[in-house]
Structure 1
């Protein structure tokens, strides 16, 4: 694909990716406004995790489905699903409705994210991969920047429904553009060489539905257990412990099933081939992307909420100050792409330096004061974190075609995408399950039960407290946010082990 057609498809894919990825961050600065209107602040994290759960859980399924019925058909289906349920989110009348529609919206968003990465590897030659990965990571990072800004601006007006409704016309136009410009089949996609590939019952038997559902079930159990802990249930309660215990057999069942169908069966085709588990590079790569996803989401959610609750800023003001982090994710990614393509630096070295930047930034950010006054050096700490996330993201994406066989390109790119989102999901769930009980316990010491319930239900109520009490409550919120950043330190440190596991001096194709 060349010329105007290539540029047109690239534009529509990036536009679709932009809105799908933006929905992972757009509620970070508007969540308090949503819960102030609909209630249920204690359940507010589910607005994130409901979307992230399916955004994560279906990527491998969509990637394998696109191998069978063509990239174009699959992309159009995912866009249609995302469009319909974006409209449904905007029409929600309760927090429960919003959470359910976010769950369905994420199914479509997951396909958009997974397939956009994959298609870029098939549309252009290897020499242009660093450039297009820079486009890709830049778009993702730009969505992370503008999402909180747009969400904050809309939340400031009180009309939070417009966070979701603009997705409908934007994605509708993208569907039309891709329907016209995208080839029926790319010449090098698997379905192009399989004359029997079509959307039929026979073709669907090739899809590893069981593997995808078991993985989704494991993600659902662990995230639900952690969310229940965040709501105040003890770790040993029947609402938490059984869910976490049941996660282990599901994970074991998933890998056992993938081993069986990879080594003993022709159909279905595994969503996670067992040969990935036998490759130290693939295992380290997946572990690394999981850890980096956790760091990204903790920063993305924690930083603006801290500005709002501790520093008393508006949602828009918090979003503006998040730019110190968000703007340097694409900058770091672009720099990483240039270093790999122009200076012949291997992806693993880039990832190692990214982990170093993340660790230093998280250590510094975890120690900022919890007073209402803004601590200016924190913007520099955010810059370090943003550069680190950008380095790691770009390095991992470009490592996929280097570390996997050609037949595994679809599930390889989807695995990196899926485990990054899984890391985001579990990372933020662990963070809230640790920080929220801390918050509740320490607020009980300074607030009456009625006022405690009021503040936890709607955080805007803390500004109704007397000045001295208000400052104490803000300090407690600040300490709870610092706990989350300390968790990010642990995730960043673990990346050194993951990078050592996958170490290779292989260069990106076309750069050597």
Structure 2
């Protein structure tokens, strides 16, 4: 329960502000920079998961979990005390460092705490909790902003985090018998262990990975806030990302194949198996769809239809509830009916494509068409199918020595998909919205609406309706981009295709 509460809180932080963004920016200003509230957290949340996994191999699971949860709790309190949007964004970066450690390690620990025959049931529980937290976030965020200050979105993490730290400190074993740190500690002295630990950390690979995430996300965010694509702030950063990615893979190949004492954060072995490569690509793609839908759906209902944050969050339920429901159904299909995971992933991709295509056809900005809830159910169920199947495949497709790194790699690329996905859709839709608003509003009024969307209420009825139509078109553009990500899951699934049922060692080649 302590682990589930911890992962629930840190994952919820990625979505809880989706319904509070307008309230935060109306108070602090800077609506055009609002996507940074998500991106700042997600950059470090996804950029360091494999690093935390490797640290836990070295120092032990318990110290790593407690340290990451402490960092998350501390900076959550500082986020709640922020006095400017820039300050809040910086604290979100630090908050994500702790959150990513919790997220990566909890999934790994369930593989080590329960026997293999119970993995489908427990992974269904964990993925269900993670999906539930994503959906509970907008609801809780909307309720808090409706009845109080947005600051409590962050401040409430402090007592919850502190109590969880105390409970895990009291009940979690000092060492798990099957964790790498236990075996190392039994063979070496503490001093020798400390020296070896420092030498084994892949600092270079970690910095290259984090740097590529930061540069790519920053470049796309600059495009979303108004910079031209060929400007140094956009094109320059994106161009600099390519050599960092290349250097990252070259370095991982070197430290993996040269028998270096350094333990790579992304072993080259992952790139030598088509199944593992297909898994990682699919994880990235489904992470994009999940994160963008969770952020976009409440914002669409709030901006286009003028609903309150809490009511807008309830419109996400038809998507959100069926993500964990889809995960549970997928676990049953693979566990009891023995359906190969690849068939489940393929079915999930088809459901996502169908749901997103139908959602993109919804263009009425005056009234809410109830059929879109059914389309959200299709997309949410598809996301749940793919998430559960890919998570369950990890201990079967990865070697035992790569269990920690493989688990964190899958979760990291899922979050990375959300990070880059949000940056991509906003970099495409925000300039689209800005350009069309300038055609119906004066530059000053358009800037005011983009800075604080509550300014829509000050427009006359005809102009307000035209502006809302523009925002609706912007969200439609985002959905069409998402359709491309969903379609890309088909070839990625074919790349990892096997009709074998998930059995230990059956799919390692």
Query: What's the TM-score once normalised by structure 2's chain length?
Result: 0.97
Q: Against the structure 1 CA distance between its residues 158 and 445, is the aligned structure 2 distance closer, same or farther, given a 3 Å change threshold?
A: farther
In the alignment, does 2:186 pair up with 1:192? no
- Cα separation, 2, equivalents of 1:36 and 1:370: 26
- Cα separation, 1, equivalents of 2:250 and 2:27: 46
- Cα separation, 1, equivalents of 2:134 and 2:366: 26
CA contact (8 A) 1:228 1:239 kept: yes
In the alignment, does 2:182 pair up with 1:174? no
Structure 1: which 5+ residue stretches go unaligned?
A: 1-10
- Cα separation, 2, equivalents of 1:271 and 1:507: 28
Among residues 120, 129, 134, which one is paired with 2:119 in the alignment?
129
In the alignment, does 2:51 pair up with 1:57? no
Among residues 352, 359, 369, which one is paired with 1:358 in the alignment?
352
In the alignment, does 2:151 pair up with 1:161? yes
Structure 2: which 5+ residue stretches go unaligned?
A: none
Among residues 472, 475, 479, which one is paired with 1:478 in the alignment?
472
CA contact (8 A) 1:68 1:197 kept: no
Counterpart position of 1:144: 134
Counterpart position of 1:325: 319
Counterpart position of 1:7: none
Please say which of residues 381-390 and 152-161 is displaced more in the overlay: 152-161
What are the residue-to-residue correspondences of 1:310-459 with 2, within 5 Å? 310-459=304-453
Q: CA deviation at 1:158?
A: 4.7
Counterpart position of 2:481: 487
In the alignment, does 2:301 pair up with 1:307? yes
**Count of equivalent residues:** 502
Counterpart position of 1:3: none
**Secondary structure of the equivalent of 2:439?**
coil
Cα RMSD (Å)? 1.3
Cα deviation code 1:444-471 (max 9, x no counterpart): 1100111001100000101111000000
Cα deviation code 1:51-88 (max 9, x no counterpart): 00000001000001111111111001001101100101
**Secondary structure of the equivalent of 2:65?**
helix
Counterpart position of 2:77: 87
Counterpart position of 2:215: 221
- Cα separation, 1, equivalents of 2:454 and 2:160: 33
Among residues 108, 115, 122, which one is paired with 1:118 in the alignment?
108
CA contact (8 A) 1:344 1:511 kept: no
CA contact (8 A) 1:127 1:509 kept: no
What are the residue-to-residue correspondences of 1:16-31 with 2, within 5 Å? 16-31=6-21
Cα deviation code 1:174-229 (max 9, x no counterpart): 11111111111111111121123857243122111110110110011110000000
- Cα separation, 2, equivalents of 1:60 and 1:72: 16
**Secondary structure of the equivalent of 1:160?**
coil
Q: Against the structure 1 CA distance between its residues 372 and 392, is the aligned structure 2 distance closer, same or farther, given a 3 Å change threshold?
A: same
**Secondary structure of the equivalent of 2:305?**
coil
What are the residue-to-residue correspondences of 1:203-242 with 2, within 5 Å? 203-242=197-236
Cα deviation code 1:12-49 (max 9, x no counterpart): 00000000000000000000100000001111100000
Cα deviation code 1:299-330 (max 9, x no counterpart): 11111110001111110001011001100000
Please say which of residues 290-299 and 501-510 is displaced more in the overlay: 501-510
CA contact (8 A) 1:286 1:415 kept: yes
Q: Against the structure 1 CA distance between its residues 57 and 511, is the aligned structure 2 distance closer, same or farther, given a 3 Å change threshold?
A: closer
Please say which of residues 150-159 and 104-113 is displaced more in the overlay: 150-159
Counterpart position of 2:35: 45
**Secondary structure of the equivalent of 2:231?**
coil
**Secondary structure of the equivalent of 1:28?**
helix
Cα deviation code 1:114-136 (max 9, x no counterpart): 00010000110111101111111
Cα deviation code 1:227-257 (max 9, x no counterpart): 0000111110111111000100000000000
CA contact (8 A) 1:370 1:474 kept: no
- Cα separation, 1, equivalents of 2:198 and 2:101: 17
In the alignment, does 2:103 pair up with 1:109? no
Q: CA deviation at 1:510?
A: 8.0
CA contact (8 A) 1:369 1:375 kept: no
Q: CA deviation at 1:506?
A: 2.8
Among residues 283, 286, 296, which one is paired with 1:289 in the alignment?
283
Q: Against the structure 1 CA distance between its residues 381 and 481, is the aligned structure 2 distance closer, same or farther, given a 3 Å change threshold?
A: same
- Cα separation, 1, equivalents of 2:199 and 2:371: 56
CA contact (8 A) 2:395 2:504 kept: no
**Secondary structure of the equivalent of 1:260?**
helix
Please say which of residues 216-225 and 151-160 is displaced more in the overlay: 151-160
Counterpart position of 2:271: 277
